[in-house]
Each structure stands twice: as C-alpha cells, then as structure tokens.
A and B are shown apart, each in its own frame.
Chain A
Amino acid sequence: MSTRTVLSQADIARALTRISHEVLESNKGPERLVVLGVPTRGVVLAERLAASLSSISGVDVPVGSLDVTMYRDDIRRHPTRTPQPTSLPPGGIDDAVVVLVDDVLYSGRTIRAALDALGDHGRPRAVRLAVLVDRGHRELPIRADFVGKNLPTSTSERIFVRLHGVDDDELVAIEGGVAS
C-alpha cells in the first residue's frame, strides 16, 4: 500500500491563514462570525481558524464544536458511534454567520447532518463551509465555500488527516489506490 504526503504541517498552516483572509473578505470583516468545528479534527481546525481570524482582525471570534453523531443517516449501518460534546459560544448562533469547519469533505453527508444539527440550536443568518481537503465524490448537493486544497482522488484511496492536539504528528496523506 503506497502512502504519500500531500500537505505538510507548513502547508496546513498556510492554508488556514489563506482561508482566514478569504472568510474575512467574503464577510466584509469579523462581525457576527462564529466558527464551529465538527468533531474530532474539525474542532482542532476551528480553534486554529478562530485564533487566526481574531489575530488578523483584532476582534475575538467565538468558536465552538458541533457534534453531528445523532443526526447521521447511517446510524443503523455502522457500529454504534459515540456522540461527542457540542459546545456553542455563550452568544449562541442566532443571527450569526456560522463557519462550519471539517477536515475532509467527501460525500457531503456529514455536512448534511451538521446543517440539521445547527437548525436545532438556533437560526444563523448564514452558514458557510470551510474544509482543509475537498476530495470530491459528493453524494449530495453540497459544496465548500473555503477549501484548503482540492485533492482529486479515487474512492479506493484513503485520506489521512493528522493534527497536533489529536495526533502525534501533523500532515495530510493519501493511502492506497493505483500507484502513480
């Protein structure tokens, strides 16, 4: 099985910085932004993105996590998943511009679940999606607003995202598929 690294730690940091600027540009500033990560690695990315947004704009951007386990459509197909904590910033998400953050965008089903979960917590003014890697193969009409890197893959390949805070090292790698 071949494994190759597609993003190094420095690449990941640069991608997050670029996404921060894009978020601030499209939102015309940091007003009403709330960054929510999807556990597990989306939360790590969300915290970094919020820190970056805060340092660039000089305004504290609230951050939280949004668990989607109970909203998944594959609950009866997999072994029972353990829910993760959801923590919203004290201000809530009503009328906020929520930036959802996840590590890999694939079928789009996780984001579909996240949108449902979000609706049960309040009514944001808008929801944006930021992902570190978009690997294609969407099964739902969902797209990301901010992408760290587009990675055309085959479905037989696996993408690994490892981040400090959850893992020992930090990189994005592809495993398997046809060796090139």
Chain B
Amino acid sequence: MRHLLSTADLDHGAAVHLLDVAEDMSDVATREVRKLPTLRGRTVVNLFYEDSTRTRISFEAAAKRLSADVINFAAKGSSVSKGESLKDTVQTLAAMGADGIVLRHPASGAAKVLADSGWVDASVVNAGDGTHEHPTQALLDAFTMRRRVHGAASRGRDLDGLRVLVVGDVLHSRVARSNAWLLRTLGASVTVVAPPTLLPVDVSRLGVDVAYDLDEAIADVRPDVVMMLRIQQERMHEAFFPNAREYARVWGLGSARFRALPETAIVMHPGPMNRGLEIGDEAADSPRSTVRDQVAHGVSVRMAVLYLTLTGDREDAR
C-alpha cells in the first residue's frame, strides 16, 4: 500500500488485513517497552492545514511508537499564511527528507492531488480532506466495532450483519462518508438519520439507507451500533436547523432515547462531543459508550497505516 487516501480504495481483504495489523499494534501498548524499532530513521510529517488536536496527536503517538521522527507542521503561523502553495510547502518538506506526509486540508480531494501530483516521493495519508473523507477515523471505528463484537477473536473477521445507525450532520461529515464505504465493504448495513438539510444531495450513492426520524429508525433498525456525528458549527454558515434545542430534542441522543436502544447497542462518537447537543451525558458517560476506546484504538490503527504505507519495497507496494 503506497498511500491511504480513501476507504473506497480498500477492498474487503485489504481492510481486514489492515485491521489485523492494527490488532498486533495494539498489543504493543501492553508491553514493557511500548515502542517498536520498525520506522527508525524515517520521517513522518504531520501537515495540518486545519485545526485538529486528537487526530494530530494520535498520528504523532503512532509514528513515535514505531520510532519514526515526527515533524509537526501547522499552517497557522507558518509560511502558508504568507501565501505559500501546497506544492511549494510539500517540496520544502520533502527536501528535508520526509518519507510520509499525513495531510489534513480544508479542500476536498487535497490528499489525492498531492498523491497523484508527482511533486514528492513520500507516501500520503489522508487525515481529513474538507468534507470528503477521513479514512483513519473510519478504520478505527470499524476496529472498535469489531473488538466489541468479536473480542479477542477479532483477527480475520469482518462486520457481517452488523446494523449501524449514523446520526446527524452527514452533509459536512467526512467521517460519515468514509464510514459508509468501509462499513459496506466489511458487510455491515448502514442507515443514516438526519434532517434533510444535513444530507448530501447524492446520498443514495453512499449505498446506505436513509431515515429522517431517529425514534422510528431505532425501533425499525434495532441497531447494534449508534454513531453520533458532531454538529460542525464551524462549517455551518447557513441555518440547517431552527436552533440547537430543537436539534437536541429531535436528533440528539438524550437519556430517554438512549434507554430505548437495544441493551447491547454501543454508542460511538468521533469527538469532540458537543454535550447536550447531539449527545447527552447519560449516553456519553455510559459503559456502552466507546468514545475513549476509539481514541486508544486510533493510535493502533494509525500505526498499522504508517507501517503498511512506509515499509516494503516501493515498487512492490504500488
């Protein structure tokens, strides 16, 4: 695997393989020395054109656990604010010897442009491009679901038959898009629930079922997993719903709705949570909430991605 740009590029075998490698990586966290020498002498650049704490820290922890050198580059307060282009920035970084570039960019498709450009030789990992994709988040969500379903016997398994509800701001959510593709590849069925104003026009192309009423969807689908998406206030320049209180009442996972879920259903959230808006305290703090598991698994999954993209003979990996 040379780059990781989209979960749509992963077939069933590649996705399961990646999750299996992540299982081995997660074992490292329980050892006496929590570090592998695998990427010693290689350099990973975290190139972040958008604010992000958890994704950047997670990639940084993953790279460091594999002994890679990490350079963090935040566009704010850098040469980018003086007008430097993406091309010039990455070529500068490549000249410093970057082997892998982890790119977060507000423009959809930025990672693909960089990977196809020939500007640099480095492997490109998409850490979120606009409202398009966030593949490592989808992979860690799938990893978390697989762990909850299959436990220690997760290796080699997929998510066949799992029923997943994805609730909230699908329109702006790269997490929802990456998840829809990956979960379908892994055999799960996905239903998105959102106000019509927060659904993309081409929602049918995601290969998911669509519902507009959360209570009905919970009763009809009997979900194994409920994934609450963050209301991305920073991307909302129009009125997509009347006000926050109405959104919380109709599409939020408050106490009553949380209790109406099947008893084994788990609650996921990519973070950071808007408590009281899309998710209530009872759901967020319940043992069935996987929010902290998702963070821990994020490091393992990103280790697997960095391992698979940065090792191996380049000619063979293509």
Chain A residues within CB distance 8 Å of chain B: 67, 70-71, 75-86, 116, 119-122
Chain A hits for B27, CB < 8 A: 85-86
**B260-308: which residues lie under 8 A (CB-CB) from chain A?**
307-308
- Which of the listed residues B25, B31, B35, B66 has the most CB atoms from chain A within 10 Å of its own CB? B31
- Which of the listed residues A67, A71, A83, A86 has the most CB atoms from chain B within 10 Å of its own CB? A83
Nearest-neighbour CB distance to chain A for B97, whole angstroms, equals 15
In contact, A120 and B31 (Cβ under 8 angstroms): yes
In contact, B313 and A77 (Cβ under 8 angstroms): yes
In contact, B311 and A76 (Cβ under 8 angstroms): yes
Chain B residues within CB distance 8 Å of chain A: 1, 17, 20-21, 23-25, 27, 31-33, 35-38, 66, 155, 307-308, 311-313, 316-317
In the complex, what distance in Å separates the CA atom of A80 from the CA atom of B31? 23
Please judge, given known A-B contacts A70-B37, A121-B32, whether A80 and B20 are in contact too, CB under 8 Å: no
In contact, A116 and B37 (Cβ under 8 angstroms): yes
Chain A hits for B155, CB < 8 A: 85
In the complex, what distance in Å separates the CA atom of A83 from the CA atom of B20? 9
**What are 23 contact pairs spanning A and B, CB under 8 A?**
A67-B24, A70-B37, A70-B307, A75-B38, A75-B312, A76-B311, A76-B312, A78-B312, A79-B312, A79-B313, A80-B307, A80-B308, A80-B312, A80-B316, A82-B20, A83-B25, A83-B307, A84-B24, A85-B23, A85-B155, A86-B24, A120-B33, A120-B36
In the complex, what distance in Å separates the CA atom of A122 from the CA atom of B33? 8
Q: How many A-B residue pairs have CB under 8 A?
A: 56
Chain B hits for A82, CB < 8 A: 17, 20-21
In contact, B36 and A71 (Cβ under 8 angstroms): yes
In contact, B24 and A83 (Cβ under 8 angstroms): yes
Q: 6 tightest CB-CB pairs across the interface, nearest first?
A: A80-B312, A120-B33, A79-B316, A83-B24, A70-B38, A70-B36
- Of chain B, the residue at the smallest CB distance from A76 is B311
- Of chain B, the residue at the smallest CB distance from A93 is B32
In the complex, what distance in Å separates the CA atom of A122 from the CA atom of B307? 24
Chain B hits for A83, CB < 8 A: 21, 24-25, 307
Nearest-neighbour CB distance to chain A for B225, whole angstroms, equals 26
- Which of the listed residues A76, A77, A119, A122 has the most CB atoms from chain B within 10 Å of its own CB? A76
In the complex, what distance in Å separates the CA atom of A14 from the CA atom of B306? 44
In contact, B37 and A71 (Cβ under 8 angstroms): yes
Chain A hits for B1, CB < 8 A: 80
Chain B hits for A67, CB < 8 A: 24
Nearest-neighbour CB distance to chain B for A137, whole angstroms, equals 23
Nearest-neighbour CB distance to chain A for B315, whole angstroms, equals 9
Chain A hits for B37, CB < 8 A: 70-71, 116
In contact, A121 and B33 (Cβ under 8 angstroms): yes
In contact, A76 and B38 (Cβ under 8 angstroms): no
- Of chain A, the residue at the smallest CB distance from B39 is A75
Chain B hits for A80, CB < 8 A: 1, 307-308, 311-312, 316-317
Nearest-neighbour CB distance to chain B for A82, whole angstroms, equals 7
In the complex, what distance in Å separates the CA atom of A116 from the CA atom of B37? 9
Chain B hits for A76, CB < 8 A: 311-313
Chain A hits for B312, CB < 8 A: 75-76, 78-81
Chain A hits for B17, CB < 8 A: 82
In the complex, what distance in Å separates the CA atom of A70 from the CA atom of B37? 7
- Of chain B, the residue at the smallest CB distance from A87 is B27
In the complex, what distance in Å separates the CA atom of A68 from the CA atom of B149? 29
Chain A hits for B20, CB < 8 A: 82
In the complex, what distance in Å separates the CA atom of A61 from the CA atom of B21? 29
Chain A hits for B24, CB < 8 A: 67, 83-86
Nearest-neighbour CB distance to chain B for A118, whole angstroms, equals 11
Chain A hits for B308, CB < 8 A: 80
Chain B hits for A79, CB < 8 A: 312-313, 316-317
In the complex, what distance in Å separates the CA atom of A167 from the CA atom of B223? 42
- Which of the listed residues B1, B33, B308, B317 has the most CB atoms from chain A within 10 Å of its own CB? B33
Nearest-neighbour CB distance to chain B for A114, whole angstroms, equals 13
- Of chain A, the residue at the smallest CB distance from B66 is A70
Chain A hits for B25, CB < 8 A: 83
In the complex, what distance in Å separates the CA atom of A84 from the CA atom of B27? 11
